[in-house]
Chains A and B, each alone.
Chain A
Amino acid sequence: MSVKKHYSFLVNGENHTVESYPANRLLDVLREDLRLTGCKEGCGEGECGSCSVFLDDVMVNSCLVPIAQVQGRQVRTVEALSSDPLGKILQEKFLEHNGAQCGICTPGMLVAAITLLRRNSQPTLGEIQDGLAGNLCRCTGYKKIFDAVADAAQVAREQGVLEGGKA
């Protein structure tokens, strides 16, 4: 397993340096070294999306990202969402529409929803379905999540958090 090295990167705006094997997963470094346990391991192989985080503002499955690739980059996790205006709106709408049942898929689902709405501030139902298709939820049948995302998009547009049209 080669040797441990030091890796420095930003997480939710804060500088962190960890000592880790280069192949260790970003997911484990976040959860175990930094105790940011909001991202979850549902499958460990890139299928469920419950480990989703932002790496330089792009959604990634943190179970597939070796820590060596994170050196010098920026990570954002569910723990920082409340300070992002769109994240906050989505959290409120997930709550209002019961988009979180057991809640284990929710952190990843929120990351996927932000990614979708940033790209497309007025998604149709079909576009929401496609945008969230990489994140599995076993509890909801997804409908309440769609409701939450559609409603959040509308509120975000009204509040000027998102632009009016499609990007």
Chain B
Amino acid sequence: MPGQLLFSSSSKQGSSCFVTNRSVMVDKCVGKSVPRKEGWEKVTGAALYVDDIVKPDMLHGATIRSTISRGKIDRITFEGDIPWDEFVIVTADDIPGENSTKMFVGEQPVLAKERVNHPEEPIVLIAHADPYLVRKARTQVKISYIEETPCLSIEDSLNKAPVVWGEDNLFKTIRINKGDVDAAQSEAEIIVEGEYFTGASEQLYIENNGMIGEYDAEEGVTVTGSMQCPYYVHPALCAVFNLPKNKVRVIQSDTGGGFGGKEDYPTIIAAHACLLAMKAGKPVKLIYDREEDMVATTKRHPSRTIIRSGHKKDGTLVFMDVDFALDGGAYMTLSPVVLSRGSIHAAGPYRCPNVKILGRAVATNYPPHGAYRGFGNPQSFFALERHMEKAAKQCGLTADEFRRRNFFREGDLTATQQVVQDRVDMRELLDQALEAADYHNKRERFKKENEGNPVKKGMGIAAFFHGSGFTGGGEQKMASIAGVEGTKDGKVRVLAASTEIGQGAKTIFSQIVADALKLPYDMIEVARPDTDDVPNSGPTVASRTCMVVGKLIQTASLALKQSLVQEGGLDEDYTPEQFAQACKDYVARNGKLRRYSQYEQPANIVWSDETYVGDAYGAYGWAIYVAEVSFDTRTYEARVNDFVALQEVGKVIHPIMAEGQVQGGVAQGIGYALYENIVWKNGRMMNGQMTNYIMPTAADLPVIRVLFAEQPYASGPQGAKGVGELPIDGPAPAIINAIEDATGVSVNQIPATPEILMKEMEAAGVC
């Protein structure tokens, strides 16, 4: 089976983890496909997602939102045949503390007060015991506005037409400079120019957002719900309710997917649910339906990238000049960090002595765009890998040979002048991926078969990399803490705020701890993320959970063992039974046994936020993706027939889950490339339904073939790096490159829906 080609261990050997014979067990859990920790609850329907939870006396809430993109709120009236006196109603005036979500500059209100800056901005909250009545009442709150001219494109925003944020609409500007692009102009023999566009896209987790808020005058506020980052919600609630840390409690319920979409917006929903609960004196459940989730919450930033590159006659890069712009929407939220990642990766895995990158995140009057898997990189790599295709053609080289000549070699400097430490040879990865995809044979065959055939086939490549963990000094600033606990039942319990959102955090943590303590997998438990119980291990984003937090719990595990050996009389050469007994005895004697570990930056990582020079990431994942696509010149539909995803992500902790992560990411990438189009009208998403926002079904996708090349990373737990985000960076350019290979037509915009392809093909005279 091709998916197994490069595995050092077969994914079928999961059972040795359960064997309590130590000689078999030592260091054997990592690298095995053990059953998912919470798997049984999920396959029996017993897992409790937020909408499955009820609290006594609970009310149901709803959010009334702005219907315009920009303007002043004039009047709010409560109309219709609704018993309004039975309702709990909350406006901005009910907020006891700051009316802000606390993200960066904190200018995004929890509830709009005097003015609105985007459609669907929350203004009024209502709650009642009868959910049917709430649904009806929601349509009877009428708000009138004094409208102002909105700004609805990157171009208009850059041209200050009009200014809608600060003085110049610029949330953030990043400049990366390496060498001297201006001076290098004269050295270039071939100049290649291009402009590339990507649309917004929806994370479309199948579980909609939702929260249950509770309030108690003594205890403060408690919120339970669907989220990626309990410790983003926590400080925000402290500020909104003006409460000390110990009066705010945030609990993650089982979460049905996130993909970045449950990174920052859940903070607002949590605040809303708790505001209603405080005013009602009762628990309030606030669950979004699909349309509300789609039209009101964050999406991937649309982008526009202009690239100018200079080459020698043999194709080698002399300079790259990249102008990368993201549409941030109405409030800054996470745009600066999305921009940062996208800018840092904008020159790709290519050696180039002179690089200039200008990154700008601009304000418009769309709902704020936010985190979505890949975090700026899918936009960057779409532009870059389309541009490389163009450059290859202009230099008279094939797509693979052109890239081979330009890839990083060991010791080269990235755009931020980081020395490439990973011992990864992209040329080797390229050869392996092309072979697995049967690239050369197929291309030749398709050339012949395409003649006179209404269905044209082509092959496309994308080469890319993705930094694991936070950018630059982010991890150091975050200073995450995670721990483990020896329990009174003789088990080991992982303590981290990192959330299980489907990616397998619970399983991977358990594997790492099992190996660190030489215990069987089923002796390890994972605490539910609850800010009253677990420390702040940072947000569950940026493919950092395994690499960064995994390392912390590995270190904490060793500290736990140390305590049991030194203070609990445990023999260094213990059996699992002895370990369990030592835990039980220790807890009976001394109370809680918890050991923590805090992040320390590896000494060799140096970064400057001012100059954007240095080690942007501790480690990178590297990848070559190859798509085989057919394009039907009669229906203008493109279809992916085969997909090879080859990546180097360090040690693979759980082969089947890692494959699943890659397949899921590629599937989303295929949707991003071909299907998932958002129709905007005056800044509002008009197709907020699964019927007309089209994500790939089981029948739309090829079998996504996943290959891993493993190069253990010294600072990751047992050599692991991040895997979650990388797979969405490559599919779109690989697919559009394949369409170009099939038809000769260069499409520089995604999603490449049949409508777009029709336009491009007709313009090029192909169809």
Contacts and interface: CB of A to CB of B under 8 A. Distances in A.
Contact of A91 (B44, B52, B502, B701): B44
Contacts of A90: 43
Nearest to B705: A143
Interface string B19-46: 0000000000000010110111111111
Contacts of A22: none
A104 B43 contact: no
Q: Which of A40, A132, A133, A138 gathers the greatest number of chain B CB atoms within 10 Å?
A: A138
Interface residues of A, number: 58
A141 B656 CA distance: 13
B690 A97 contact: no
Contacts of A100: 36, 39, 42-43
Q: Which of A103, A129, A146 gathers the greatest number of chain B CB atoms within 10 Å?
A: A103
Given A42-B206, A106-B42, A138-B205, A96 B502 contact: no
Given A91-B44, A103-B42, A138-B668, A98 B656 contact: yes
A152 to B, nearest CB: 11
A98 B256 contact: no
Given A130-B699, A139-B257, A101 B207 contact: no
Given A102-B257, A141-B660, A144-B656, 6 more contacts: A91-B43, A102-B258, A137-B206, A138-B667, A142-B698, A143-B660
B132 A1 contact: yes
A95 B36 contact: yes
Which 4 A-B pairs have CB atoms at the shortest separation, nearest pair first? A38-B45, A102-B502, A104-B256, A103-B42
A47 B690 contact: yes
A141 B699 contact: no
A98 B45 contact: no
A38 B259 contact: no
Given A38-B45, A45-B690, A143-B663, A101 B699 contact: no
Interface of B: 33, 35-36, 38-49, 51-52, 54, 132, 203-208, 254-259, 289-290, 501-504, 656-657, 659-660, 662-668, 689-691, 695, 697-701, 703-704
A124 interface: no
B44 A78 contact: yes
A104 B699 CA distance: 20
B206 A50 contact: yes
A159 interface: no
A105 B45 contact: no
A129 B290 contact: no
A128 B656 CA distance: 20
Given A95-B35, A101-B504, A125-B703, A78 B690 contact: no
B538 to A, nearest CB: 20
B290 A42 contact: yes
Contacts of B668: 138
B660 A144 contact: yes
A60 interface: no
B664 A140 contact: yes
B691 A47 contact: yes
A129 B664 contact: no
Interface of A: 1, 21, 31, 35-45, 47-48, 50, 77-79, 81-82, 90-92, 94-98, 100-107, 110, 125, 128-130, 132-146
Question: By DSSP majority rule, is chain B's interface helix, strand, loop, or mixed?
Answer: loop
23 contacts: A1-B132, A37-B52, A42-B207, A79-B46, A82-B44, A94-B43, A95-B39, A100-B36, A101-B502, A101-B660, A102-B255, A102-B258, A103-B502, A104-B49, A106-B43, A107-B45, A129-B701, A133-B699, A138-B204, A138-B206, A140-B667, A143-B663, A144-B660
Given A50-B206, A101-B503, A106-B42, A40 B659 contact: no
Nearest to B706: A143
Contact of A136 (B45, B697, B704): B697
B206 A48 contact: yes
B45 A39 contact: yes
A44 B290 contact: yes
A75 B353 CA distance: 67
B698 A38 contact: no
Nearest to B691: A47
B663 A129 contact: no
A102 B207 contact: yes
A82 B667 CA distance: 30
Q: Which of B52, B203, B257, B697 gathers the greatest number of chain A CB atoms within 10 Å?
A: B697
Nearest to B657: A98
A140 B47 CA distance: 18
Contacts of B255: 102
B48 A40 contact: no
A41 B146 CA distance: 37
A144 B41 CA distance: 18
Nearest to A102: B502
B36 A98 contact: yes
A79 B43 contact: no
B257 A104 contact: yes
B703 A143 contact: yes
Q: Which of A39, A77, A129 gathers the greatest number of chain B CB atoms within 10 Å?
A: A129
A22 B767 CA distance: 53
Contacts of B695: 136, 138
B664 A97 contact: no
Contacts of B257: 101-102, 104, 138-139
B43 A96 contact: no
B664 A139 contact: yes
Contacts of B663: 140-144
